[in-house]
Amino acid sequence: MANRKRLIGLAIVAALVAGGVVLYLRTRPTAAAHTLTLYGNVDIREVDAAFNDNGRIGKLLVQEGDIVHRGELIALMDNRRFAASLAAARAQATNLQQVLAALLAGSRPETIVQAKAQMDALAFVAHNDQVNYQRYRALVPGNGATRQQRDDALAAYQNAEQTYQAAKQAYVLAVKGPRKEDIAAAEAAYRAAVATAALAEREFKDTRLYAPADGVIEDRILEQGDMASPATPVYTIALTNPVWVRAYVPESDLGRIKLGMAADITTDSYKGRIYHGWIGYLSPTAEFTPKNVETPDLRAQLVYQLRVYACAPHDELRLGMPATVTIDLAQHLGPADQRGPGVCGHDGGH
């Protein structure tokens, strides 16, 4: 009897243990429930590098596949026409600068002395002609001189007086120096010439094309001797920073991810290598699944584009490369975990 009771007790315990195991297996979280796997392609930005003026290309310094750095000289335009314009503009500015300097300096002391000497000499002539005229006028009533002689003396005196007054005004102007209106006009002309020279210098510098950012020459569009313009790019440069994977998340999983969440990126090209990144962009609008990532069960679903920015210091992620993104949904984000501009040295934008 005791053995029977013992067997019944063991059976009950075994049943309870088995039920607990089944319940645990049914309710325990699985790795798949805490992980989201997405598939996409590596994407990068491109920039078209063009001259800022019209002219004929003189020399191209890089070609497809070359790595360039921000500020590196990559092409030259024939600058002879621009050099001549710059030289002429600078010469004109120098000329007007000297004109302005002369006006600001005022009259030379020698000029003032010369004007005064001429004024004094003419004053003496006018005084002498006045004395002669008065003498002839006094002699006419006694027939000591004719009226014609008197009139000629008067005309000579009046002419000498006008000449003296003109010399006097010239002396006054020499003492006062240039008018302020003339100085202002000269200053305006000089400033305009300086601005023209600065524009000519800018146009001359625009004959040199520099790389706008770090990257790889993807396409060399023009060749030496071609006509370049601001609307005609010379190169297409694939920027190496930032690099991201463009993937699409179904609407049902959208609420499980957030901006700033860490993610791992893998590719078929480098098996076993994991690139660490983070979710830097989530599209605010839905779209139908793109053709290149479409599967039979996703053809009619709405998805949201996301971009996982990658830290890839070895330049192994290339444009268009298929990639797999794995996101740990159990991670918790705090204020210090929010990734943004400056991570891995790129801007983190989209």
314 alpha carbon, distance to own chain's centre: 30
E strands, 177-285, are 208-210, 215-220, 227-228, 235-250, 262-266, 275-282
Per-residue confidence (pLDDT) for residue 312, from 0 to 100? 64
Is the overall model pTM greater than 0.75, yes or no? no
Provide the 3-class DSSP secondary structure of residue 305: strand
Q: What is the pLDDT of residues 11-28, one digit of tens each?
A: 444 444 334 433 433 444
CA distance 287 to 12: 56
List the structure tokens of 158. 């009046």
CA distance 240 to 45: 8
Angle, CA of 180, 186 and 191, to the nearest 5°: 125
Per-residue confidence (pLDDT) for residue 311, from 0 to 100? 75
Q: What is the pLDDT of residues 46-102, one digit of tens each?
A: 999 999 999 999 999 999 999 999 999 999 999 999 999 999 999 999 999 999 998
- According to DSSP, residue 289 is labeled P
Contact predicate 289/249, CB 8 Å: no
Contact predicate 295/322, CB 8 Å: no
